[in-house]
Amino acid sequence: MSPSVVHHFLLLAVALVAFAATLLPPAGAEDTVLGHKCGMPAAGNASSDAYRSNLNALAAILVAGARANGSAVGAVGAPPDAAYGVALCRGDFAGDACARGLGDALRSAVNDSESAFGCGRQVRDVTLFYDRYQLRLSGVDFLSGDGSTPKWAGNNTNFVAPADAAQRFDGLVKELVTTIAAIAAGRPDRYATGRSRFEEQRLTLYGLVQCTVDMPPERCRACLDGLISAFPATFPSGQHGGRILVPRCTVRYETDDTFFNTANLSVDLHKPKRSKFSKINCSTLDLYAWILSTSLQREHIPQFTSNSNFLAWLLQKAGQWRELVDRCLLGNEEYHFTMERYVHVALLCVQESAEDRPAMDEVVKMLSSGEGTVLPEPKQPAYFNVRPVGTEMSASCDMSISITLSR
C-alpha cells in the first residue's frame, strides 16, 4: 500500500472517530430545519466515494472547531472532490450543545440518501439553517467570498400600527441592530446582543447579531451591514420581529426575550437618551474602561499617584500605551488593538474639560469601532485620586481597587 493511500486512510479513520464522538442524543424537536438551499451537481470526472469521504473528514473538523469557538471553517481534499464548509452556532448555544446540534445536522447533510431536503446525494452544495446553528457544505471553494449567499429570512407575524408608529419602530430596530453590529465586529467572538424600548406601545425590543469568528472586523461588519440594509425590502414596516441568515453571519430582532439568553446583554439602549447630564454619565464608564485597559499598573509606573492619568496621557501620546497594560493582557496580540482602543477612549473620558468628554452613546460607538475608525486625540486629562487595596501589584492578575472621584 502506497504512503499516500495510507495517509488518506489514516485521515479518514481519525475523522470518522472524531465525528462518531458527536453521536449524542438528538438536539431536540425545536431544532428542525428552518430552511435549506442546494445546488451544483457533481462534475463528470468526480468520484462520489471520494467526495463523501472528504465530507466526513470535514464534518469532524467543523464539529471540533465549533465546539471550541462557536464556529468553524475548513477544507479537505483536492479538486474535483474537495469539500469546503462553514458552521456557526448561536453565541448562547456553545460547547457540547453546539457540537451535538451540528453533528446531527452534518450527518443529515452528508447522508441525505433519501433526499430529505430535496437535494439528493449527487448535489455538492448544501446549506442548512436551524434556529441555533447553521452550516454550508460545498464542492467549490466559497470560503474566500463575502458569505452573503445563500440567504434565508423569517419574520414575526405581528405588526406595530398605525403607519407613523411603525416607521418610528423601524428606526428603533435599525438603531439597535446597527449598534450591536458595531460591537460584534470588534469582539473576538463576533457575537453581540442588545435591548431597546419602544415606549409608545410598551414594547421591549431585543437584537442579536453574529459572524463566524475567523472573519476580520471589517469583513464581519460588512456582512452584517449587508443584512441590515436588506431589512426594508425583506420585512414590512412595523414587523415585531425578523431575521436574516447567511452562512457567515446572522441578524435577528424580536419583541420578546425567549429566543436567546438575555442574561449578558452587550448593550442596553433602554436608557435615557443624551441629556445635560450625559457628560457626568461618562464618569462611570471612564473608570470601567480605565480599570479594564490598565488592569494592574506595570511595576515601574508610580502606584496610582494623583497624576497617574496625566502620566498615562503622556505615555499614550508617545505611542507607549503598552506600558499601561498589565502583562497578563499583552500575551495575545489579537487583543492589542482592543486594549489600545480602551486606553484611548479612557483618556478621552478623563479630559480636563467636561465639554470635551464623550457622552455614553459616543463611548459605546468608539469602543466597538473597527480599526478603520479614527478617534480624536485626547486632550490633557483632569486629576482623580486612586487608592490601591492589596499588595504585590505586579505579581498577580487579580486585585481590587477603590476609587474616589473629585470633579
Res 12 pLDDT > 80: no
Quote helix, strand, coil % in the chain, to nearest 5.
40, 20, 40
Across the range 306-328, mean pLDDT stands at 74
User: What does each C-alpha distance from 231 to 185, 223, 326 come to in angstroms?
Assistant: 19, 13, 43
User: Regarding the domain delimited by 3-144, which CATH topology (the fold level of the hierarchy) does it fall under?
Assistant: Killer Toxin P4; Chain A (3.30.430)
Among 235, 79, 123, smallest CA distance to 169 is for: 235
pLDDT of residue 116: 53
Residue percentage of the chain with pLDDT more than 70: 70
| CA torsion, ordered 255, 257, 258, 261, to nearest 10 deg | 140
User: Regarding the domain delimited by 278-404, which CATH topology (the fold level of the hierarchy) does it fall under?
Assistant: Transferase(Phosphotransferase); domain 1 (1.10.510)
The structural domains of the chain, with segments of one domain joined by +, span: 3-144, 153-268, 278-404
Grid cell of 216 as nine digits: 476580520
Residue percentage of the chain with pLDDT more than 90: 42
**Residue 17: pLDDT band with limits 50, 70, 90:** very low
CATH of domain 153-268: 3.30.430.20
Do the beta carbons of residue 31 and residue 134 sit within 8 Å?
Answer: no
Across the range 19-44, mean pLDDT stands at 60
* DSSP codes, 378-389: P--B---EEEEE
Res 16 pLDDT > 50: no
Across the range 48-74, mean pLDDT stands at 93
pLDDT of residue 94: 93
> Residue 94 burial by CB count (10 A; 0-12/13-18/19+): exposed, middle or buried?
middle
pLDDT of residue 45: 55
Domains 3-144 and 153-268 share a fold: yes
The model's pLDDT over 88-141, given as tens digits with 9 standing for 90+, comes to: 999 999 999 999 999 988 888 887 544 555 666 667 889 999 999 999 999 999
The model's pLDDT over 326-383, given as tens digits with 9 standing for 90+, comes to: 666 666 676 677 778 888 888 888 888 878 888 877 887 887 776 667 888 888 886 5
- State the pairing for strand pair 123-129/133-138: antiparallel
Long-range interactions of 364-367: CB distance < 8 A, separation 24+: 364/179, 364/183, 364/267, 365/179, 365/182, 366/341, 367/183, 367/186, 367/289, 367/341, 367/342
